[in-house]
Every structure is written in structure tokens, then in C-alpha cells.
A and B are shown apart, each in its own frame.
Chain A
């Protein structure tokens, strides 16, 4: 099964293009000899990303009190590993546009992903002891395996969705995938992250957002993305009743120390309030509705 997933992900190599600026920053962040100056230079080589970076840095999303008008200021204030995540987060739509498919509109796909990213970031700030901005990126990317499956295995993917709709219980999609394909989108996404050499934290959150006890290095972040994914569904179908969506693993509350009663209404409400602005900020457009 593992080899199936590896082959499946190899097949999309040409369809997904990570931004060069991300790859360059990624190498520099890993290299102890590189300086803020080196990273600022790498950022400046990509004018489009520079514009996006300064727009996000000056938006209410970060809420810095002073204006951030230069790249080096942005890099030193936001931090080098954060810049790496931003390079990825602000380019996901173009990076994955090669994985178009007939089963889900890209706007609907990214809206759910963005809801999850926003919710994960809020939860991370409440829970503490983790990097909220990195958890945002993890939430934004948690379902990328789905795009691979929809693009490469459209017949099986459709069979999976029909299986979900055929029952009165709304079988979770990842369970239906396991039945029809023998693996699920979380495993595929995790493999994609591994082949791309994404930071290990992102890889674990993507791979284990439906199986948080399997996350060994980043259980806290994986649990946050797991909760955020369900809260994103609640935001999407406009409910505050956990009975209306897939269940949240009780271990996720224990691992994060968050209390269900204290977070659901707040996070779902704030996420819904923030979505339109975040669409403009990270995707440069309002999603169709």
C-alpha cells in the first residue's frame, strides 16, 4: 500500500510547482550559516512574493503596530521560518492549479482549507506552546492529498464520494477512501509533503489529521489541525452543534489542553468573520459563492 501511495505522488511531480522563493528560503532556513540579509535578498528576487509579503505583514492578520515597509524589516520582525510558511501559504492556489479536477471546485476546496488554517491558528494561540503561524500553514495544507486523489484517481474518488452519500450516516470521507482505495487522503498528503521536503511539522499535521495518536514528533500541532478541520466544517455549514459534523477525537482535547465548551463557539464565529478578508489576503480574490 505504501508503494502505491509513493507512486501516486510521484505521478503528480510535474503538476505541482512549489514557488522558487519557497525552495530557496527553505534551504536557507535549514542552513545555519545563512543570515537575515541572505533571506531578504532571496525574497527580493521575487517581486510578486515581495508585494504579497508586505501586504500580509501590514494587514490586520498580523496586527503589527508599526508599518513594515521593507523586506528586511519584514524578515526580521516576522522571522525567517515564518517567511518560509508565508511563501508557501500565499502561493498555494497557483502551486496546485495543475491538480484541477471535476469533483470539487477549487474555490470550495480552498475555502475549507482556509477555514481550517484560520481555525488552527486561533486554536494554537489559545493553546500556546506552539508556533501559531506554522500551524496556520499546516491547516491550509491539511487536505492537499485530496487534490492528488481527485486528479489522479477520479473514478475511485467519485466512487468514494458516492459511497459517503449513499449512507444515512455520512461516513467520513477518509474512512470511505480506506474502503475503496486501501489508503486515504491524509496518507497521500503526508507523502506529498515528504517528497517535497516540507518542514516535518507540516508533514505530520497533514499525514495525521485524522489519526492524531500516530503523530509522534508534533502531536500538539496535529491535534490542533484535527480540531480545526472539524471547526472548519462547522463554519462551512453554519452550525455550532458538534452533532452536525464529524466527531472530534477526545484525545485532541487532552493533548492540547483546550476545553471544547470554551473554544467551539468563539473559534467558529471568529473564523467565519475573518474568512472574506483572508481570501483576499492569501488568494488575492473572493471565492465564488
Chain B
């Protein structure tokens, strides 16, 4: 049978657990691209892209630089009363949420054959996109940096903070990232998406058990 070379035929099977992530053909990058929403993460071993838009949320992009297995998450720490000092509190509910997002991504890469010593990390986002508000983006950046340092993972590149939202397109196979800073026209819509996501995580705190590899 002839092999179909039309784009949809190249949509390879997603790894187990990522079947619900929306993926489609992207003609600019000529690859399949997975679209992440706040709270989601995605790992792939194929030559495909994963992208998201970030306001004050943060995305870690992590890959095994030898095998090219890697992915992206998209999260923020909930703003609860106890979360102001996530670092001091150590195991506060909000830090637990960040740990959850980071460990899911890293563990899934390792589960699919990545090696811890080969991991390379990049972080993006954490912008202060609504004027005169508490800088929640800065807390997310501080958390991500602190987490990666504790795990012994060096950050090989980052574009974080400042006042704009970002579109991040990541290619785990090569480690290439395209970051596009978005104009302020998009701030309110992105902030609204993030607030909706924040409401869902504040209602459903994650449990403390995370399987460690």
C-alpha cells in the first residue's frame, strides 16, 4: 500500500497519557504541534513541536539531549494564604502543586527512556501582564529556578519575567525553542484563562504522594 505523505498521516501516536492533548499539523514549522493549556503537560519521543501561551504561568521545557525525548509543562502556583512563603514553608500546598507539575514532566521523560544525567532544562513565562497586581509571575519563576537547582538540572536558556505574555514553541527532538513575546492586546484574555485555571486548582488540591524515580 502506498504510504500517505499528506500531513495528517504523519500524526504519530501520542505516548500513553497524552491522547487528550490537542495536536495538529503546523504548516509554518512543517511538523505536528501539540497545544498545551494551563495545567497540562506533554512528552514526546517524535520529531514534533509542543506550544503554549503564557502570561504569569511558567513552562519548563525539559529533554534528554542524547535521545531527544522531552516535553513541556504549563503551570502556576496557586495563590493561597499559605503560599506567600512557599520556600520557607517548604511543603506548602502551593509548592506541592509546582512539584507535581515538574515531577510529572521529568518522571514521564525518564519513564520513556530519558536519562537523568542527559536532561537539559529551559524555562519561560512568569510575566507581570496585569498592571498594579502582585507579581505572581515572579513567584512562579523563583519556584521553577529553585526546583531545577534542587534537582541538579542546569537551566540552559530562559526568557522570563517582564510585562508581556509569550508564545513558546518547543522542539524536544532538537531542543530548539521559538519564543514570541505577545503584544499587550492579548493580556486580558490570557489572564482570564489563567484565572480560570487557578480556580480549578484551588478547588482541587493535589495529593502529597508523588512517585519518585
Residues on A facing B (Cβ under 8 Å): 102-105, 107-109, 111-112, 146, 158, 161-162, 164-170, 173, 233, 236-239, 244, 288-289
Contact = CB atoms under 8 A, between A and B. Distances in A.
B93 interface: no
B182 A237 contact: yes
Dominant SS among interface residues on chain B: mixed
Interface of B: 26, 28-29, 33, 35, 49, 51, 53, 131-132, 162-164, 167, 169, 180-190
A149 to B, nearest CB: 12
B181 A244 contact: yes
B189 A161 contact: yes
Given A169-B28, A236-B164, A104 B51 contact: no
A80 B204 CA distance: 64
B169 A162 contact: no
Nearest to B27: A169
Residue among B162, B184, B190 facing the most chain A CB atoms (10 A cut-off): B184
A236 B186 CA distance: 13
B174 to A, nearest CB: 16
Dominant SS among interface residues on chain A: helix
Contacts of A166: 35
A121 to B, nearest CB: 20
Nearest to B132: A288
A92 to B, nearest CB: 17
Residue among B29, B132, B162, B180 facing the most chain A CB atoms (10 A cut-off): B180
A32 to B, nearest CB: 42
Contacts of B26: 167-169
24 contacts: A103-B188, A104-B184, A105-B131, A108-B187, A111-B184, A146-B185, A158-B189, A165-B186, A167-B26, A168-B26, A168-B28, A168-B29, A168-B33, A168-B49, A169-B28, A170-B180, A173-B185, A233-B183, A236-B164, A236-B183, A236-B184, A237-B164, A238-B181, A244-B181
A284 B181 CA distance: 28
B112 to A, nearest CB: 23
